[in-house]
């Protein structure tokens, strides 16, 4: 018999007994007693429900305070007691885990701020309080931009692109530079991580200053040494063949050193935060026509070089920096393409974005080298780089120029089948021009024009 019929049995037995007794004796008295007993049962159930309601409103739903009843109510309360006991155990475990997590995050040197779906502060550790000037007790529930009142931070938060960290100069802490990284998670929630990078930034500034100063100091003596070596070679005052070879070797190395110093100085200028980008209209067609002629001179007829201009659109940026970036890609193509190889220089506009790319039929690059090509002094083949006169800084310069112009580079290459270096410029840097016919410059095209 289940608990329902077990709890209903006293009422059923009472009813079964009351009916014949009421027929045999005074029915009014019997049924009056019957009603009083039923009323007592109803009052008991109502009182039990009241006790349950009071327990549910109790601030501490502990299984120790569950009402004690018998019968069906006893079964219900026993199950409630087990449920509350399990709930208390789980809650205790969660609270313990949360406390351990909070203690662990509080011990981190990085600042941690948990932001809700509306960017309100839900929790932060002590490092975040120091970095951002927060007070968890007072600022909980406040929008993060009310506490960090900086225009660049507000713009970074509104932009929604958190793929890269954001550098923030904290006005409340003098000479402190913070790296801010926002990590979205859950349902529109965010984790804000702050790190004090002041020391690393100072070290980086010292490194850049050291490289710039050393390069600047080396340029003058190298120029003097190279000048005297060239004079000795031109005047032909050295009679011995060994001495002449030694002078040529010294002259070549002096030229290589001067080129390395110039590249280091170029990198230092690009990395200097105070060196603001010069915004001007750059005539890409004219620029590439000049670089095409330089490429022909550098190749000295050893390659088939073509220039394809599918647009007359201009770019907004620094002409000197763009010239340096384009020139590095073009010279690399000439250096690493064997004789009779094909090199094409191209300028087009696709979907509003500017695209410059250099395609060659050179030796190609292994896929594992491509991600590291823009690192300083990284060489795929050191012996070949020395033979071609490369400094190992060309693509690093290209990367810095592109970063300053919000551009990106894609490299496609296959060993033995050549490479394609593509530079994409954002649409806001492309100045539209009237539709112009495709301009193509190639050795055959040049010969036809000369004959005409």
Q: In the chain, where are the structural domains located?
A: 3-101, 108-196, 200-271, 280-451
Q: Are 180 and 194 in contact (CB under 8 A)?
A: yes
- Res 75 pLDDT > 60: yes
As its CATH architecture, domain 108-196 has 2-Layer Sandwich (3.30)
**382-393: average pLDDT:** 60
| pLDDT classification of 40: cutoffs 50, 70, 90 | confident
CA 147 to chain centre: 24
Q: Which of 24-38, 181-195, 209-223 has the highest mean predicted lDDT (pLDDT)?
A: 181-195
- Percent of residues, the chain, with pLDDT higher than 90: 15
Of the listed ranges 151-165, 284-298, 306-320, 379-393, the least confidently predicted one is 379-393
Q: What is the DSSP string of 308-361?
A: EE----EEEE-HHHHHHHHHHHHHHHHHTS-TT-EEEEEEEEETTEEEEEEEE-
pLDDT at residue number 29: 67
| pLDDT classification of 346: cutoffs 50, 70, 90 | very high
**334-361: average pLDDT:** 91
- Percent of residues, the chain, with pLDDT higher than 70: 80
Read off the DSSP letter of residue 277.
P
pLDDT at residue number 12: 65
What are the pLDDT digits (tens) for 419-438?
A: 999 999 999 999 887 544 44
| pLDDT classification of 9: cutoffs 50, 70, 90 | low
- Res 85 pLDDT > 90: no
**305-325: average pLDDT:** 91
- Res 111 pLDDT > 50: yes
- Res 212 pLDDT > 90: no
pLDDT at residue number 437: 44
pLDDT at residue number 436: 42
Side by side, the strands of the sheet bearing 418-425 are 408-414, 418-425, 353-360, 342-350, 304-309, 439-441
Query: What is the C-alpha separation between 121 and 145, in angstroms, rounded?
Result: 10
Of the listed ranges 1-10, 111-120, 228-237, the least confidently predicted one is 1-10
As its CATH architecture, domain 200-271 has Orthogonal Bundle (1.10)
- Res 1 pLDDT > 60: no
User: Which CATH class for the 280-451 domain?
Assistant: alpha beta
- Res 153 pLDDT > 60: yes
CB neighbour list of residue 88: distance below 8 Å, 6 or more residues apart: 62, 63
Of the listed ranges 45-49, 109-113, 122-126, 364-368, the least confidently predicted one is 45-49
Query: What is the C-alpha separation between 233 and 243, in angstroms, rounded?
Result: 10
| pLDDT classification of 315: cutoffs 50, 70, 90 | very high
| pLDDT classification of 445: cutoffs 50, 70, 90 | very low
pLDDT at residue number 343: 93
For residue 226, count other CB atoms closer than 10 A to its CB. 18
Total number of residues shown for the chain: 452
Q: How is residue 269 written in tokens? A: 């200028």
- Res 405 pLDDT > 60: yes
| pLDDT classification of 71: cutoffs 50, 70, 90 | low
Region of 301 please: left (phi>0), alpha (psi -120 to 50) or beta.
left
Q: Are 308 and 345 in contact (CB under 8 A)?
A: yes
What are the pLDDT digits (tens) for 225-280?
A: 888 788 877 777 667 777 778 888 888 788 778 877 877 777 777 777 666 777 89
Average pLDDT over the chain, rounded to an integer = 79
Query: What is the C-alpha separation between 304 and 337, in angstroms, rounded?
Result: 10
Q: Which of 73-87, 227-241, 292-306, 379-393 has the highest mean predicted lDDT (pLDDT)?
A: 292-306
Q: Is 134 helix (H, G, I), strand (E, B) or coil?
A: coil
What are the pLDDT digits (tens) for 44-69?
A: 778 878 877 777 776 565 555 667 76
| pLDDT classification of 410: cutoffs 50, 70, 90 | very high
pLDDT at residue number 309: 92
Q: Are 216 and 192 in contact (CB under 8 A)?
A: no
Element spanning 168, H or E: strand 166-169
Q: Closest Cα to residue 369, out of 414, 325, 324, 401?
A: 414
pLDDT at residue number 381: 65
Query: What is the C-alpha separation between 403 and 370, in angstroms, rounded?
Result: 18
pLDDT at residue number 444: 44
């Amino acid at each position: 018999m289940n608990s329902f019929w077990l709890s209903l049995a006293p009422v059923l037995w009472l009813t079964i007994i009351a009916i014949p007794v009421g027929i045999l004796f005074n029915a009014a008295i019997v049924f009056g007693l019957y009603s009083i007993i039923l009323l007592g049962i109803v009052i008991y159930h109502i009182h039990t429900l009241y006790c349950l309601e009071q327990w549910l409103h109790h601030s501490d739903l502990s299984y120790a305070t569950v009402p004690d009843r018998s019968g069906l109510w006893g079964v219900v309360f026993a199950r409630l007691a087990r449920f509350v006991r399990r709930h208390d155990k789980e809650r205790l475990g969660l609270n313990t885990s949360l406390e351990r997590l909070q203690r662990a995050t509080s011990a981190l040197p990085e600042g941690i701020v948990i932001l809700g779906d509306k960017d309100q502060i839900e929790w932060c550790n002590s490092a975040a309080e120091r970095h951002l000037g927060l007070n968890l007790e007072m600022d909980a529930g406040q929008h993060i931009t009310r506490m960090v009142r900086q225009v660049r931070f507000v713009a970074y938060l509104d932009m929604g692109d958190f793929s890269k960290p954001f550098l923030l100069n904290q006005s409340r802490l003098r000479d402190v530079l913070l790296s801010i990284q926002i990590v979205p998670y859950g349902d529109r929630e965010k984790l804000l991580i702050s790190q004090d990078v002041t020391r690393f930034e100072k070290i980086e500034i010292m490194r850049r200053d050291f490289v710039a100063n050393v390069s600047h100091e080396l340029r003058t003596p190298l120029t003097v040494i190279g000048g005297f070596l060239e004079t000795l070679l031109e005047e032909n005052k050295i009679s011995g063949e060994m001495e002449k070879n030694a002078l040529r070797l010294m002259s070549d190395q002096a030229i290589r050193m001067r080129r390395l110093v110039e590249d280091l100085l170029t990198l230092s200028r690009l990395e200097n935060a105070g060196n603001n980008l010069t915004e001007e209209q750059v005539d890409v067609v004219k620029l590439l026509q000049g670089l095409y002629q330089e490429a022909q001179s550098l190749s000295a007829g050893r390659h088939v070089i073509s220039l394809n201009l599918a647009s007359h659109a201009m770019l907004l940026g620094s002409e000197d920096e763009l010239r340096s970036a384009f020139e590095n890609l073009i010279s690399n193509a000439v250096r690493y393409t064997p004789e009779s190889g094909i090199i094409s220089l191209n300028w087009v506009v696709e979907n509003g974005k500017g695209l410059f790319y250099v395609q060659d039929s050179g030796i190609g690059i292994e896929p594992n080298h491509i991600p590291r090509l823009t690192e300083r002094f990284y060489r795929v083949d050191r012996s070949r780089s020395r033979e071609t006169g490369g400094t190992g800084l060309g693509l690093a310069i290209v990367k810095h120029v592109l970063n300053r112009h919000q551009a990106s580079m894609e490299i496609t290459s296959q060993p033995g089948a050549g490479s394609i270096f593509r530079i994409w410029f954002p649409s806001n840097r492309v100045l539209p021009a009237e539709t112009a016919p495709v301009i193509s410059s190639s050795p055959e095209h040049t010969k036809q024009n000369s004959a005409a």
